[in-house]
Amino acid sequence: MTERQTVLIRVTGPDRPGITATLMTVLDDAGAGIDDIEQIVIRGHLTLGIAVDIPEGRDLLKEVLLFGWEQGVEVDFEVISDTPNAIEPGHVVTLLGPSLSPAELADATGAITASGANINRIVRLSRYPVMSYELLVHHGDGQELRTNLMRAAAANPGLDVAIQREGLGRRAKRLVVLDVDSTLIQDEMIELLAFEAGRLEEVSRITADAMAGSLDFEASLRSRLALMAGLDVEAIDRARARLRYTPGARTFIRTLRRLGYTVAIVSGGFTVFTDRLRDDLGIDHAFANELEIVDGRITGELLGPVVDRARKAELLREIAATAGIPLGQTVAVGDGANDLDMLSAAGLGIAFNARPMVQEAADTAVTVPYLDAILFVLGIKREEVEAADASDSTAT
């Protein structure tokens, strides 16, 4: 039996159609086999690596160098082991920020190195509304990797880091459950009502304490709502008219629905707002507290059980069970103490512009002010989103 050796061929240079096809023909004519191949083009510049298995004594040097000269690319060779290294599933690290400077990237990649891990691949996910890159990382201790990367993010206010286990689970997410106040929208529903009632300052103070976790949510909600007693339904309409979506919210929901996700909102706010959001955005499920309204006025009381911290987690589980979706394939997004149980119950809990205590408890944190940046954490590229939007626009 003829012995063979494995050679790594590296091709670099200006890209144009036909380079890879021509090289494959050269290799086929030489009787070579393909063991591995990867190719990437950056700004029109090709980098192609091919591990080829060739019969011992067969000299590919002339054929491949002639190919490089004819194609105007550089070619080099290296004899390598014929046994590929077995690589255990690693981690996917997503880096996000307004610009991502060399210093920020140095801190993040240095944190990976300090964890004993190695970067196998880097892919750009977006340039807008933020820069984001996905790094495939292998080896090293997972907990140390997370700790070091979180330390790097804390030292760089413009850097967000998301860390997930590599594998099918990461690409199998099917349900996204979102908080509403200061997540899907920029406002707090109860503060929109408080403005109409002339009690905004008092209500805002209680809201801040509740979201920080220093007050019981239900007690604080009922005390704030009592200040709205007597407010008429016309005030609700005016409050809804002032509601502001978080930048990127429509893109985020539209893309999730296009990908076949089930999307739900669960809120400690009120159904008079969330029902409108559900209908406007085409969301599958919406749960919130129901205001008691008698003779066209808010009484200051609620109907039914309160959607609090525990209830949000229960709703996530119920929605997932109804849709037949395992909890490992769910994503929860929120910003306050009221979201902690929900973030913990989900397969991936994302703290979005959240309080420090929530960021520390969540699987990952996103601090850029664009909700659609979460798409990049899910591995979705901005170009794919824009191409889908353009296709829909052309179709209509």
For the cut 80, the answer to whether the pLDDT of residue 276 exceeds it is yes
- Please report whether residue 95 resides in a domain: yes
Q: How far apart are CA 331 and CA 149, in angstroms?
A: 21
Long-range contacts of 26-30 (CB under 8 A, 24+ apart): 26/63, 26/64, 26/67, 27/52, 27/60, 29/63, 30/54, 30/58, 30/60, 30/63
Query: What would the mean pLDDT of 47-55 be, rounded to a whole number?
Result: 89
Least confident span in 7-16, 48-57, 91-100, 178-187: 48-57
pLDDT tens-digit readout, 111-161: 999 999 999 999 999 999 999 999 999 988 889 999 999 999 999 999 999
What is the residue-averaged pLDDT of the chain? 92
- The parent domain of residue 132 ranges over 91-166
For the cut 60, the answer to whether the pLDDT of residue 2 exceeds it is no
CA 53 to chain centre: 39
Residues 129, 17, single domain; the answer is no
pLDDT score at 83: 66
CB neighbours of residue 235 within 10 Å: 18
pLDDT score at 209: 79
Residues 248, 295, single domain; the answer is yes
Three-state SS at 298 = strand
pLDDT score at 123: 93
pLDDT score at 54: 83
- Please report whether residue 393 resides in a domain: no
pLDDT score at 392: 79
pLDDT score at 4: 72
Contact (Cβ atoms closer than 8 angstroms) between residue 217 and residue 210: yes
pLDDT score at 141: 87
Active site residue 29: no
What angle is formed at CA 252 by the lines to CA 288 and CA 170, rounded to 5 degrees?
95
DSSP category for residue 353? S
- Position with higher pLDDT, 87 vs 249: 249
pLDDT score at 80: 85
Only one residue has tokens 């190919």, namely: 67
Residues 37, 112, single domain; the answer is no
pLDDT bracket for residue 263 (50, 70, 90): very high
* Secondary structure element (H or E) that encloses residue 352, with its range: strand 348-352
DSSP category for residue 260? T
pLDDT bracket for residue 254 (50, 70, 90): very high
pLDDT tens-digit readout, 330-387: 999 999 999 999 999 999 999 999 988 899 899 889 999 999 999 999 999 999 999 9
- Please report whether residue 236 resides in a domain: yes
Residues 223, 259, single domain; the answer is yes
Q: How many CA atoms lie within 13 A of 281 on its CB side?
A: 30
Q: How many CA atoms lie within 13 A of 260 on its CB side?
A: 7
Active site residue 209: no
Catalytic residue among 107, 181, 187, 339: 181
Residues 234, 350, single domain; the answer is yes
For the cut 50, the answer to whether the pLDDT of residue 1 exceeds it is no
Three-state SS at 29 = helix
- Please report whether residue 391 resides in a domain: no
Residues 151, 58, single domain; the answer is no
CATH code (residue 147): 3.30.70.260
Residues 260, 319, single domain; the answer is yes
239: left (phi over 0), alpha (psi -120 to 50) or beta: alpha
Q: How far apart are CA 368 and CA 129, in angstroms?
A: 9
Query: What would the mean pLDDT of 273-296 be, rounded to a whole number?
Result: 97
For the cut 50, the answer to whether the pLDDT of residue 58 exceeds it is yes
For the cut 50, the answer to whether the pLDDT of residue 105 exceeds it is yes
Catalytic residue among 15, 160, 179, 187: 179
pLDDT score at 46: 94
- Please report whether residue 317 resides in a domain: yes
One-letter amino acid at 318 equals E
The number of distinct structural domains making up the chain is 3
- Please report whether residue 380 resides in a domain: no
Q: How far apart are CA 192 and CA 269, in angstroms?
A: 11
Residues 160, 13, single domain; the answer is no
Only one residue has tokens 């380079």, namely: 19
pLDDT score at 84: 64
Number of H helices and E strands in the chain, helices first, is: 15, 15
For the cut 70, the answer to whether the pLDDT of residue 57 exceeds it is no
For the cut 80, the answer to whether the pLDDT of residue 7 exceeds it is yes
Contact (Cβ atoms closer than 8 angstroms) between residue 112 and residue 137: yes
- Please report whether residue 155 resides in a domain: yes
For the cut 90, the answer to whether the pLDDT of residue 243 exceeds it is yes
Burial tier of 376 (Cβ tally within 10 Å: 0-12, 13-18, 19+): buried
The percentage of the chain sitting over the pLDDT mark of 70, rounded to a whole number, equals: 96
Question: At a CB cut-off of 8 Å and minimum separation 6, what does 364 contact?
Answer: 94, 161, 162, 163, 164, 348, 349, 350, 351, 377
How many residues comprise the chain?
396
| Whole-Å CA distances, 186 to 108, 129, 144, 364, 376 | 30, 17, 35, 20, 21
Instruction: Give the residue from 166, 186, 211 where a domain finishes.
Output: 166
With CA atoms as reference, report the closest residue to 265 among 275, 257, 255, 256. 275
Residues 162, 181, single domain; the answer is no
pLDDT tens-digit readout, 220-231: 899 999 999 999
Query: What would the mean pLDDT of 166-195 be, rounded to a whole number?
Result: 92
- Please report whether residue 379 resides in a domain: no
